[in-house]
Amino acid sequence: MNKTEILNYFLRKGAQINKEALEELENNQYLQEVILKSTEMRLPPVITDDFLKQYKNTSSVKEKIPVKNLSQILDYRYNFIKNILINNPQLTNLISINRIGDKIKQFSVIGVVTEHNNKKLVIEDTTGESLFEISEELGKYIIEDEVIGLACERQQQTNNVTNIVYPDIPLKRDASKTKTPKSCIFISDMHMDSPAFNEKYYKNFISWLKEQKDLDVFIFGEVSTKIEQIERLRNDISQTSVTLEKLNVNDSVRVKTENIEIMLSRGWFLDQYMKLWKSAPDLTLVNLFRKRNLNPKLTPQYYNNTFFLDTIPDIISLSDIGQPAITNYKGTTILTNGSFLKEPIYWVINLQTRETFKIDFSIT
């Protein structure tokens, strides 16, 4: 919408808008979607940028991104993982791609996957690209754009991959724990604005909250597009003794509770890998974890380092999967949540002991 259309919209709703807010709205498509398309939003008499701010924490303006920014993303990933892999003893005789030749029969390389299909693999490093042949089994979990290490044998002018080395996370890693008693729960995909939203589950949830102490509640994923429903949730939680930690996560955020690092993430990206590997959400996540990147494939729509695991969170909780599951991988608790529409199953984690237990709001 342009300025005139926005002005007309608010006038029809009996509201006015100041100049700054008008410019902000015109340039922020996300805000337009949240505010202008919400039919039941209660509007103040004058729309100011303060009003917009409460919706802006998950959005931003359209901005000019130069090519070099994207180049830096890739560069950062490559160098970070290279520095991990370079010390891996499985990668012997490590060479640059431009040095591959018939004189060196056994070698290793580190590079970004450019292409992968039909047992063929194209790997790129900063010196060039090369073709590798790989068995179906070995290449099963390779994803384009991830950074990996390859141990190879050169035979008949062909580079045959004998082993793949992923950056992974250290084997020995102690689980972080809080010193004081503390728990947390990750609630996602409430969909309060959906016709399928189950009021009973919600009430069970709030009732349960009221009984809790020393609990941090993390709410993320789709909550509602209607401001009054979000306000209702805020109010209901405020009447309990729990702490509301986060709302409206769009892609992925890291939060810290004492010394525990938590990654909350929308899980829309996971579906493609689950389909590719035909694996359950938790196992899929473990495989991605080994790559130190929950979404390695770069697409024009998604070109960032949000899911890149340069530091390892203690807990990862994913929304939008619709299949509740929990697993632990080398000290990190990995959760996928249920949904308030069908299967309101979530996990409570005791951060002092790192014990977990399941809670089902359909029966609580």
Partner 1 sequence: MELDFQLLDCDYINLGNKPVVRLFGKTKDGKSVCVFFRNYSPYFYVLPKNNFEKIEEMITKKFTGLVTKIENVQKFLPKGYQVQKQSILKITLNDPSRVPEVRDSLQSEKLVEGVYEADILFKYRFMADFNISGFNWIRATGIQTRTSTVKVDIVVEATELKEIDNFRNVDLKYMSFDIETISEEGAPDPRKDIIGMISISFSPHYNSQTSLVIVSKISPKLNKNIKVFQNEKEMLQEFLQILENYDPDVLVGYNINNFDLPYILSRLKENNLHQMLGRCKQKPMISRKIGVQYRNVAVGRIIVDAYELIKESIRKGNLRLKRLGLGDVSKELLNDTKMDISHSEIFGHWHGESEQVAKLIEYARKDSDLALRLVLEKGFLDKFFELGKVSGLVLQDCLDGGEAQRVENILLKEFDKNEYVLPCKPREEMLETEEMQELKGALVLEPKIGLHTDPIVYLDFKSMYPSIFIAYNICPTTLMTNENMNVESITTPYGTKFVSKSVKTGIMPTILKKLIDERDKVRAEEKKSTEKEVKRLLEAKQIALKIMTNAFYGYTGYLRARLYIPAIANTITGCGRFLINKTKHIIEEKTGYEVVYGDTDSIMVKIKTDAIETAFDIGKNLESLVNTELTGIIQMKIEKIFKSLLILSKKRYTGLAYEKSNGEWKEDLVMKGIETVRRDWCNAATKTLFEVLNILLREQNPKKAFIYIKDYVSKLERNEIPIDDLIITKSISKSLSAYKGMQPHVELVKKMKKRNGTAPGVGDRVGFVIVKGMQLLSQRSEDPEFVTANKIPLDSKYYLESQILPPLERVFEVIGISKSELMGIGRQTLLKELFGNNHRVNGTTNDVKESIDSFDGFVCSKCNKFYRRIPLIGKCLECQGEILFSSPQGKSRNLMAYTYGNNLKV
Q: Which residues of the shown chain bind partner 1 in the complex (CB under 8 A)?
A: 28-30, 58-76, 78, 111-112, 114-115, 117-118, 120, 122, 124-126, 128-131, 144-145, 156-157, 249-253, 298, 300, 302-306
Closest separation in Å from C-beta 121 to partner 1? 10
**8 A C-beta contact, residue 202 and residue 219:** no
325: tokens are 């599951």
Q: Which amino acid is at 66?
A: P
Closest separation in Å from C-beta 16 to partner 1? 26
The whole-angstrom separation of Cα 132 and Cα 135 is 10
Give 239 or 299: the residue with its C-beta nearer to partner 1: 299
Element (H, E) at 181: none
Give 148 or 209: the residue with its C-beta nearer to partner 1: 148
Closest separation in Å from C-beta 63 to partner 1? 6
> Which backbone phi and psi does 34 adopt, to 5 degrees?
-70, -45
Closest separation in Å from C-beta 34 to partner 1? 11
Q: Which distant-in-sequence residues (6+ apart) come within 8 Å of 44 by Cβ?
A: 15, 51
Give 56 or 354: the residue with its C-beta nearer to partner 1: 56
236 SS3 class: helix
Least Cα distance to 335 among 351, 352, 323 occurs for 323
Give 74 or 164: the residue with its C-beta nearer to partner 1: 74
Closest separation in Å from C-beta 68 to partner 1? 7
The whole-angstrom separation of Cα 214 and Cα 226 is 29
Least Cα distance to 211 among 241, 232, 191 occurs for 241
Closest separation in Å from C-beta 86 to partner 1? 16
Give 23 or 360: the residue with its C-beta nearer to partner 1: 23
Give 51 or 78: the residue with its C-beta nearer to partner 1: 78
Residue 47 bridge partners (DSSP): 17
